[in-house]
Amino acid sequence: MTSRLHARQRPLRESEFAQIPWLSRLLPNEHERAVSDLRVGMAQAGEMICRTGRPATYWFGVIDGLLKVSILTLQGRTTTYTGIAPGGWFGEGTVIKREAYRYDAQALRRSRVAGLPTGTFHWLLDHSIGFNRFIMDQLNERVGQFIGTLAAERTSDPEQRVAHSLVALANPRLFYNVGRELHITQQELAYLVGLSRQRVNQALHELAARKLVRVEYGRLRILDLPALRRLGLEPESTG
């Protein structure tokens, strides 16, 4: 965690157990260790959760809110890899390799973020079959997600790019607490897609006209996920 967020961290509350999807896969002694070491902090809009070049000290997850994961290119352009919606965890590859972060993670709105220390993460890898299966599923889905992202980045079609981002955020294997109803504003979606709010608005109206989504105040409802996936060039699965 960044220093400001670290200063506001607290232990996990019992009411938050169900919002962390992998806890239910642990045996009692593993669960006790994880709950004891997990920390939660409230990140304000615009606040960094992790920064490029900083050592990975936590594996992060979103309890509620929305993050974006991005890099700054040598040309000074920000490229967004993905959004992290409620129930999503990220950075396991960096933690497994004990590397420094190669990306920035930033809160797009006020977000409750959980962190598992890297030492506990590796202890669970060494001791928990259930945890290992969760991480394997995460890595497999992440590969599929980034294949779709590469395809979407090569198109200039706003509808395809918006469709890809919506499908990625509705992935139930990565974001366990989301479903087909996405609590996201058009401006937040624009940050994730890398387009202007006006272009995103136009794309959403086109998708709504095709009955793929329904646009509501402060949220979007996905009506036809298979069709949206085909449009967004999202692979069904890598497994």
According to the model, what pLDDT value does residue 7 have? 78
According to the model, what pLDDT value does residue 177 have? 73
Distance CA 94, CA 49 (A): 14
44, 2 in Cβ contact below 8 A? no
Distance CA 52, CA 72 (A): 9
> Which tens digit of pLDDT belongs to each residue from 142-196?
877 766 666 556 566 889 889 988 988 888 888 877 778 898 999 999 998 888 9
Q: What is the pTM of this model?
A: 0.83
Positions in the chain whose pLDDT score sits under 50:
235-239
According to the model, what pLDDT value does residue 156 have? 66
Please choose, from the candidates 33, 35, 166, 191, the residue with its C-alpha nearest in 3D space to the C-alpha of residue 107.
191
> In this structure, how many other beta carbons lie within 10 angstroms of the beta carbon of residue 42?
17
Domains of the chain, CATH where assigned: 3-143 (2.60.120.10), 156-231 (1.10.10.10)
Residue 34 DSSP label: H
Distance CA 175, CA 121 (A): 19
